[in-house]
């Protein structure tokens, strides 16, 4: 009976436990967080805030403006391929940096944030379920925000005539998923918990930053991605793993990137891209 009671009282595995660092070490940790964000998604957030200010001040309504994602970078096919491939590689350097910073003597950075192969089928299943829960309503919210004029038209395709376009879009989707979930969830959650933050404050702060670096797409994507950040943060708090989040985010971006031309063809009034 006592053994069963002890087993029942044992805490379940959820949000990764992080030891709060002594006050004397917190300044160094804050500098590290600032540098990591300044080199990655924090920098994107600053530029996006400036972009939305410019968009709102422009005489053209927000709904008639456009933004390009994954656009072609050169009229020469092999140069376009090279530029886009290098963009993916260099963006992942920030991911590699935070994995390195999170490495501990008895625990790799991958293991610490749950980005490993210890439970692949469960991660795939949880990721697919999370995609269904957050992805489908998210795409609907984007369409609705376009109708209400608070989101710009977002083009997601480079030159479709290249044989490598679809493959590059798949890689771009995985790159975005790794960037956002490893840095904004795995890394930021670990460091802010070490700094003594409450779990829900970490979730909210991470979600707000996530929404901020999508502001270049308009007001709607800020709220949509902030809500997504709260849901993903809550899931990480329960599961203690970023792998399902990477799966869900990858599926969401793959559907968005690959399905964009289909959406334009079916609903040109909603998804059709206009020139600002």
- pLDDT tens digits along 93-107: 999 999 999 999 989
Handedness of CA 189, 190, 191, 193 (dihedral sign): positive
The average pLDDT across 76-89 equals 94
The reported pLDDT for the residue numbered 18 is: 85
- Give the span between the Cα atoms of 52 and 223, in whole angstroms: 14
Is residue 5 scored above 70 in pLDDT? no
In a 3-state reduction of DSSP, which class is residue 76?
coil
Domain ranges for the chain, please list them. Answer: 24-271
| CA nearest neighbour of 122 among 243, 15, 271 | 243
| CA nearest neighbour of 255 among 136, 148, 160 | 136
The reported pLDDT for the residue numbered 275 is: 46
Is residue 265 scored above 60 in pLDDT? no
Stretch (H or E) spanning 153:
strand 153-155
In a 3-state reduction of DSSP, which class is residue 241?
coil
Confidence at 184, pLDDT banded by 50, 70, 90: very high
The reported pLDDT for the residue numbered 31 is: 97
DSSP string of 42-107, one letter each residue: HHHHHHHHHHHHHHHHSSS-GGG-EEESS----SSHHHHHHHHHHHHHHHHHHHHHHHHHT-BTTB
Confidence at 264, pLDDT banded by 50, 70, 90: low
- Note the pTM of the prediction, 2 decimals: 0.88
The reported pLDDT for the residue numbered 165 is: 86
- Give the span between the Cα atoms of 217 and 65, in whole angstroms: 9
Mean pLDDT for the chain overall: 88
Adjacent-strand bridge partners of 67: 154
Buried/exposed code over 82-114 (b: 16+ C-beta within 10 A; e: otherwise): eebeebbeebbebbebbbeebeeeeeebbebbb
């Amino acid at each position: 009976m006592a053994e069963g009671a002890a087993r029942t009282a044992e805490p379940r595995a959820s949000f990764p436990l992080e030891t709060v660092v002594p006050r004397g070490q917190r300044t160094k940790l804050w500098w590290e967080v600032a540098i990591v964000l300044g080199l990655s998604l924090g920098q994107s957030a600053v530029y996006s805030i400036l972009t939305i200010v410019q968009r709102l001040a422009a005489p053209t309504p927000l709904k008639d403006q456009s933004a390009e994602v994954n656009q072609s970078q050169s009229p020469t096919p092999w140069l376009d391929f090279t530029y886009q491939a290098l963009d993916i590689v260099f963006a992942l350097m920030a991911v590699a940096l935070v994995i390195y910073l999170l490495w501990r003597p008895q625990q790799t950075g991958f293991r610490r944030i749950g980005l490993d192969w210890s439970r692949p089928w469960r991660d795939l299943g949880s990721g697919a379920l999370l995609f269904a829960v957050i992805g489908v309503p998210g795409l609907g919210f984007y369409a609705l925000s376009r109708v209400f004029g608070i989101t710009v038209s977002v083009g997601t395709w480079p030159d479709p005539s290249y044989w490598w376009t679809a493959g590059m879009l798949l890689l771009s989707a995985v790159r975005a998923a790794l960037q956002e979930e490893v840095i904004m969830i795995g890394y930021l959650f670990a460091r802010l918990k070490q700094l003594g933050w409450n779990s829900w404050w970490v979730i909210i702060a991470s979600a707000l930053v996530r929404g901020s670096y999508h502001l270049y797409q308009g007001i709607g994507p800020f709220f949509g991605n902030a809500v997504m950040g709260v849901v993903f943060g809550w899931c990480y708090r329960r599961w203690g793993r970023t792998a399902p989040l990477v799966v869900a985010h990858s599926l969401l971006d793959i559907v968005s990137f690959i399905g964009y031309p289909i959406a334009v063809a079916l609903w040109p009034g909603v998804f059709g891209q206009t020139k600002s």
